[in-house]
Amino acid sequence: MSARPQPISVAVIGAGMAGRSHAAGYRNAGTVFGAGLPPVRLAAIADANVELGEDAARRYGYDKALPSWEAVAEDPTIDAVSIVVGNDLHRPIAEALVAAGKHVLCEKPLAGSIEDARAMVELERSADVVTAVGYTFRRSPAIAAIRDHVRAGELGNLSLFGGRYWADYATDPNGPLTWRFKGGPGSGALGDVGAHVIDAAEYVAGPIVSVSGASLSTQIGKRPLPLGAVVGHNAAPVSDEFGVVENEDTATFTARFESGLVGTFSVSRTAFGMPNGLAFDVVGLGGRAAYDQHRPAEYLFDDAQPEARTRGARQIIAGPQLPYFAGGYPMEAPGVGGGNAEMFTYQARAFLDQVAGTRDPLPACATFADALRTMETIQAVVRSSQHDGAAVAVPAA
């Protein structure tokens, strides 16, 4: 009888809404796709808010809660770690974890500044561990299917990409001034939700080489200071004292892709009635496809059908014919749905397979270098907005 493989011991730094999504993903990673992944030990969840960390550890079956990220770095029994805290903390935590020989999955955006992001890429190049970034929308069966249509030439030469990520978590002017509202231009809606739609656009349609026509705006310039800890986008008690919002609520820009394709983008955290509204259309000379995160278990597809009276967009419902679905859902049947939680599970499985060196139907996770590219695109958008919408090149990968 062969020896049972050693478990991979995992931890999550950050017990907020995204941290809990990572925690749940690791818990479910061994339930999807084929055999071969070693057992996963759910070791710890760390958060400075000890009560929040303890609650997350209890909910998702982790052995313990730790009061700091340093405690994770110092624990020799932990092998792989997700970093899911404020952007400015990503670099010091990643450096400490890599120095301790731990594999790292970092939430996007990669860092709080372009300088920190570049340092993290240098760290990745020299590291003897797996480093990855959490772009969960790459794990959507529908988005992956659209990418396959594009790569197979089924839309013909692409002529237009239109992408948006509209969210409404910042529409309340009495919402507390959290870390999300601090930092310079580009660290607001662009860094938070814009990073996802930029990455999705490049994932589907190829590299962006320049941006132009950018405009950034802030709808709510001051917010009340919180009286205590704030979890995610939740409401919280606030004081009578206000602080200045340092970054953008909304941004729009145009992008040119390496292929010559032109795309238009808009992102916002003050789009009333649009919770988590990532959506895009990709159009070619021979077809088009569209995705909307509010209907994550489907996408629209329209191609040059020979019979004119049956032409038009078709609703493709998620099922075993789409990427990731077969082997990834307990009920492998058409039309059973899907959404955010599955994408985090697929991401955790891909990361852990990279750590273990096992084979899996999922492609590898995005790298620190991939995430730096997104940040360089965001920086180009900011520069365009500061120079009357002038065209600004995005550095080559």
The model's pTM is 0.92
Res. 74 pLDDT band, cuts 50 70 90? very high
Beta bridge partner(s), residue 83: 13, 106
Q: Average pLDDT, stretch 110-138?
A: 95
Res. 333 pLDDT band, cuts 50 70 90? confident
Domain boundaries, the chain: 8-137, 141-337+372-386
- Whether 188 shows a pLDDT value over 60: the answer reads yes
**Measured CA distances, 303 to 139, 284, 376 (Å):** 24, 9, 34
CA geometry: angle 205, 190, 167, nearest 5 deg: 95
CA gap 311, 233 in Å, rounded:
43
CA gap 184, 214 in Å, rounded:
16
Determine contact, residues 61/27, Cβ cutoff 8 Å.
yes
Fold type of domain 8-137: Rossmann fold (3.40.50)
Q: CA torsion sign, 77 to 82 to 84 to 88?
A: positive
- The reported pLDDT for the residue numbered 299 is 95
Res. 396 pLDDT band, cuts 50 70 90? confident
Record the tokens describing residue 110, joined without a space. 């990669």
SS3 115: helix
- Whether 1 shows a pLDDT value over 70: the answer reads no
- Whether 331 shows a pLDDT value over 80: the answer reads no
Fold type of domain 141-337+372-386: Dihydrodipicolinate Reductase; domain 2 (3.30.360)
- Whether 275 shows a pLDDT value over 70: the answer reads yes
pLDDT digits (tens, 9 = 90+) for 363-387: 899 999 999 999 999 999 999 999 9
pLDDT digits (tens, 9 = 90+) for 214-240: 999 999 999 999 887 777 676 778 889
Q: Which residue has better confidence, 304 or 140?
A: 140
Buried b (16+ CB within 10 A) or exposed e, 143-157: bbbbbebbeeebbee
HSE value, Cβ hemisphere, 13 Å, CA-based, for 152: 9
CA gap 82, 19 in Å, rounded:
8
Determine contact, residues 317/300, Cβ cutoff 8 Å.
no
Q: Percentage of the chain with pLDDT > 90? A: 79
- The reported pLDDT for the residue numbered 361 is 67
Q: Average pLDDT, stretch 346-369?
A: 91
